[in-house]
Chains A and B, each alone.
Chain A
Amino acid sequence: MNHAPILIITIPLFGAFLTHLTKYTKIKRGAELVAFICLLLSLLLLLSMGSSILSGEKITYNLGGWRAPLGISLQVDGLSFFFAALTLGIGLAITTYSLGIYIFARRYYSLLLIALSGILGIVLTRDIFNLYVFFEIVAVASYVLISYKHKPRTIKASFKYLIMAESSWVLFLLAIAILYGLTGTLNMDSIAHQMPTIYQADPKIVIVIFSLMLVAFGIKCGMFPMHTWIPEAHSQAPTPVSGLLSGLILKAGLYAMLRIFFLFWGATLFMLSIETVLLYLGLATLLLGAGMALAQNEVKKLLAYSSINQIGFILVGIGIGTELGLTGALFHILNHSIIKTGLFFCAGIIVSQTGFWKISQLRGVSKAMLSMTIAFILLSLAVIGIPPFNGFVSKLLIITATIQTQKYWVAVILFFGILLSAAYYFKVIQSFFAKDEFVTNRDFTPRPVGRFEHVTVYVLVLACLVIGLFPDLLRNMVTLAAKVVLQ
């Protein structure tokens, strides 16, 4: 039996404990090395399955040899592969970025590895309770990561995230309990198999399960009106953790939505289909995120609301329900992870170097930090959707899908969202170029931008440009993931 699926999850998990043991060795910066090697090994294992996955195969692994309805099984299919590759890629970028920041010790790398292995578990497991456990692992690791700096405001933000995320897991657990009571199994495929009979027996219980899950995952992915933890957690977390939150943890919520909703209720069971619910909530999320971002005066908060805005875009793409819309949504998940991680890195460098976090204080910063300003501009052009960057391709796919399904009013709202996102990003860009004399904080000794930070940011910018110019490179992976969702 091919043990790759379980190894992908467990290698980073073991690595998390190994990082602490490096204290007893003489290796310099052992924790970083362990984190790096573990993630690379996982990535290699994942890519070794790549060719068979991309040809449409599914690799199933039964834990302990117990078969599906009884035991826990892991499955790598197109969708899982897409998300696992994204997780490992962004995870590597986050690790590289963190290398240059010396306040991050063993504990940080250990928690980072736990969070990443949790996300890998989320995307690979086929057991719904196992999914819950992995979500909890990610959540617990990220509570500590957000408050890593032990300042009152980071602890406050982390506490808020803790309360909201835990309340979402309570709802999810309730949904799982109801499902288990009805079906007697926790395996996703078996539940999906029994779903039509449950629906016929009592449609209302299905509505309750769906609503519980929607709210649970909605909190996780920042859907309106459950978005409220995002701005504080994203802006108070250490920079690489903001990247982790926006790039991967929000996306884990979206993955769960894509996987479970389409598996359980793929055939339209409701009169008001789940797609319509997602579409309306997505539009609300989009407008709220864009509008609130326009009103922000702190860079990291602006980026956090911009994440909400882009999540709205993705939800609309899912809500359209056609294959093209889903492809666009999945592509936007990928693009947004790359772009937003890069933007948080850039903003983090600018903020930590100057000691200023308000846009009005950062006027004229381009003189002091030219290369980061350029990277910020390129990445923000990408997230607005200006060609030839990658954000354009995915937004184009989503808009094409709306027009093909003749939902013109949706397209108009999407355009409004794009304009608003241009409005707030260009507001930041123009303040960076202002002629005002840029005064750095005198109490603060500026730290030169480390080479690891520089390299990571520019690799992400390059990725944006390459994906934007040659989107065909990723076409197979994305369309396959969309097909898996719709099966």
Chain B
Amino acid sequence: MIFQIPFWPIDSLSLLMAIIIGSIAFLVFIYSFAHIKFKFVYYYLALSITVLALFGTVFAKDLLTFYIFLEMMSAGTYFLIIHNGVETSFRAGYKYILCMLIGGLFVLTSGLLLYNYTGTFDLSIIKQVAPTLTSQQIAIFFSLFSIGCLIKIGAVPFHIWLPDAHPAAPSPISALLSGVTIKIGAYGIIRMLFILGLLSWNLSLITVGVASMLFGVILALLQTNLKKLLAYHSISQMGYILLGIGIGSEIGLAGGLFHVLNHAVFKALLFLCIGSIIYVTQKRELHDLGGLGKVMPITFITFTVGALAIAGIPPFNGFASKAMLSASVYNNLWLKLAIIFTAAGTFASFLKIFRFAFLGELPKTLKNIKDAPIFMLFPTIVLAGACLGIGIFSAPIISTLIAPAIKHIIIFDFWNMRTLIDTLLTVFLGTSIYILGLKTGFLKTEKEKQAPSFMNYLSLDRMCVSAAQFINRSFEELNRIHTRSLNTHLLWIFLTLVVLIAGLWFAWI
């Protein structure tokens, strides 16, 4: 049994992840100086442990170490999510930590199975002996491991914790969660695909990816809570990454990995901007806001950059990775359609935010607000600059960061007819969805009290919560019927003795 904590000689994949973690975490720290108002020691201690554990996961040289840091990260993030100390954050945190533990146990089980097959946790040795494993062993191991990672990612159908955890957490933590923490799952899957040499068309990953893309974007369109809307977009953007990984070609993998970087940048930017809005206005529902563009100009500009990036509009970074992803599926019409539709839906939902948060009439209660403090603006400006910079210099960034990580040289032409048509189609479709949605009342700005409908019973979230509540209730029932009478307890002892003797007696005969 190994108990020490070994690390890689850092390779390019770990380096890329470490750069993402380090830079986002640094900006999150700066943002927190202004944003966090109470429980400082608690907050910064938990944040430091989480960031440390995040670095640990990407530097881990063996599966056990990976698991250890994964669990540390989950525990640290739990305490960050419940930082607000209100009932909703406790609920979200409770769900989060239980889901994370389930995911972690999947990873642990897969690691122990692999230890059984190979006698080691060390990934470099596993890489050498991987060809000697039977395909059944690899299939069992990889499916357990990737289910664990998909739970950490929050991909459909394991997303139930994500839309609760992001809005409940303080805004810088939402940025960290969405920007970095959920990427660790994607890192795990990519790393394991390389180790096992499974880089090929993987239908199950593609299915999960496309389901996440479509499901995430459709639910995002329906949301009225700003942070919840972004949370659903995280699901859909992680779907892109999984799609790229699932396709498995060099260009798909490079696109997926590039999207890991880009999504970290623009989603952190968007969450920090929304955090500024919530910090200034104390409101997070769309219908309470409006006209913020005039009073919060810098946040407005940085948010616009982030929104254009996530919708895949050139010259921002989202465009580059989405162009690569859509190039990698060019021969498959359905995947292509899914990508276009998701991009259009994303565009439409951000049009909604623009219309109802930044344009329009400023509510009377918000007349006296000013833009966020400098500590909160600085990280958003840096990230907006990064969105533009990565978008413009995508070719050199791919050749220096992404290509070494997947050990292939990537040459990709970003500016051609095809990408241009894709962009125009996205904008056109997105605008039509937006206009149609407003006309038909599909896009709402105010949360309506819904009567429990049939669709509600189909909701996965509801099923899981009901299952958990059922377990809880049955144990409460057990507690109620568990007798406190001493006589009965003595009877139990006597019965146990009789059953044991009788059982062993007959088992022996």
Interface residues of A (CB under 8 A from B): 160, 163-164, 167-168, 171, 203-204, 207-208, 210-212, 214-215, 218-219, 225-226, 228-229, 232, 270-272, 277, 288, 291-292, 294-296, 324, 381, 386-388, 392-393, 396-397, 399-400, 403-404, 411, 415, 418-419, 422-423, 426-427, 430, 433-435, 470-472
Stretch from B105-113, B290-298, B332-340 contacting the other chain: B105-113
Cα A160 to Cα B489 with chains together (Å): 10
Known contacts A207-B508, A211-B504, A419 near B472 by CB under 8 Å: no
A430 touches B93 (CB 8 A): yes
Q: Which of A210, A214, A399, A435 is within 8 Å of B86, CB to CB?
A: A435
8 A Cβ contacts from B109-157 to A: 109, 112-113, 115-116
Provide the bound-state CA to CA distance between A81 and B496, in Å.
Answer: 33
> Mostly helix, strand, loop or mixed at chain A's interface?
helix
| Given A295-B478, A418-B105, also A212-B497 (CB < 8 A) | yes
State whether A422 touches B492 (Cβ < 8 A): no
Contact residues in A for B497 (Cβ distance below 8 Å):
171, 211-212, 215
Binds A, one of B95-103, B252-260, B407-415, B447-455: B95-103
Q: In the complex, which residues of chain B have a beta carbon less than 8 angstroms from the beta carbon of A225?
A: 492-493, 495-496
Give CA–CA (A218, B499) in the complex, Å. 14
Q: Are B3 and A393 in contact (CB under 8 A)?
A: yes
Chain B residues whose C-beta falls within 8 Å of the C-beta of A411 in the assembled complex: 109
Q: Chain A residues with Cβ under 8 A from B486's Cβ?
A: 160, 163-164
- Is B435 part of the contact surface with A, judged by Cβ < 8 Å? no
List the B side residues contacting A435 at CB < 8 Å: 84-86
Assess the B479–A296 pair: CB atoms within 8 A. Answer: yes
Contacts of A203 in B (CB 8 A): 508
B contacts, CB < 8 Å to A: 1, 3, 64, 67-68, 71-72, 75, 78, 82, 84-87, 90, 93-94, 97-98, 101-102, 105, 108-109, 112-113, 115-116, 472, 474-476, 478-479, 482, 484, 486, 489-490, 492-493, 495-497, 500-501, 503-505, 507-508
Min distance, Cβ B62 to any Cβ of chain A, angstroms? 13
Q: Across the A-B interface, give the 7 residue pairs with the lowest CB-CB distance, nearest first.
A: A295-B479, A291-B475, A211-B500, A387-B68, A435-B85, A228-B489, A272-B507
Residue on B with the closest CB to A434? B85
Q: What residue of chain A has the Cβ atom nearest to residue B500's Cβ?
A: A211
Closest chain A residue to B473, Cβ basis = A295
Contact of A295 among B102, B475, B492 (CB under 8 A): B475
For residue B81, give the distance in angstroms from its CB to the closest CB of chain A. Answer: 10
Chain A residues near B490 (CB-CB < 8 A) = 163-164, 167
What separation, in Å, do the CA atoms of A219 and B475 have in the docked complex? 23
- Taking a contact as CB atoms under 8 Å apart, the answer to whether B475 and A215 are in contact is no
**A103 vs B1: C-alpha distance when bound (angstroms):** 47
Given A163-B490, A215-B497, A228-B492: A427 in contact with B3 (beta carbons within 8 A): no
Question: Nearest Cβ distance between residue A194 and chain B, in whole angstroms?
Answer: 20
A388 to B4, CA, bound (A): 11
Contact pick for A215, options B75, B489, B496, CB 8 Å: B496
- Identify B90's interface contact among A232, A404, A423, A430, CB under 8 A: A430
Q: Are B496 and A400 in contact (CB under 8 A)?
A: no
Instruction: Tell me how far the C-beta of A306 lies from the nearest C-beta in chain B, rounded to whole angstroms.
Output: 13
The verdict on A271 contacting B507 (CB below 8 Å), with A292-B482, A387-B68 known, is: yes
A386 and B71 contact, Cβ closer than 8 Å, known pairs A272-B508, A430-B90: yes
A219 cross-chain contacts in B, Cβ below 8 A = 493
Q: Other CB < 8 Å A-B pairs besides A225-B496, A418-B105, A422-B98, 20 of them? A: A164-B489, A164-B493, A168-B493, A203-B508, A207-B505, A229-B489, A271-B508, A277-B500, A292-B482, A294-B472, A388-B72, A400-B1, A400-B112, A419-B102, A426-B98, A430-B93, A433-B85, A433-B90, A435-B84, A435-B85
* Chain A residue with the shortest CB-CB distance to B101: A422
Q: With a CB–CB cut-off of 8 A, which chain A residues contact B87? A: 434
Q: Which of B68, B98, B115 contacts A423 (CB 8 A)?
A: B98
A392 to B72, alpha carbons, bound, how many Å? 11
Known A418-B105, A419-B98; judge A270-B3 contact (CB<8 A): no
B97 touching A167, Cβ below 8 Å = no
23 A–B contacts, CB within 8 A, in A order: A160-B489, A164-B490, A207-B505, A210-B504, A215-B493, A215-B496, A225-B495, A226-B496, A292-B479, A292-B482, A294-B475, A324-B1, A386-B71, A386-B72, A403-B116, A411-B109, A419-B98, A426-B94, A426-B97, A427-B94, A433-B90, A435-B85, A472-B3
A426–B74 alpha-carbon span in the complex (Å): 13
Q: How far is the CA of A150 from the CA of B476 in the complex (A)?
A: 31
Contact of A291 among B68, B75, B109, B478 (CB under 8 A): B478
When distances are taken between beta carbons in the complex, the residues of chain A under 8 Å from B507 are 270-272
Q: Which residues of B contact A404 (CB under 8 A)?
A: 116
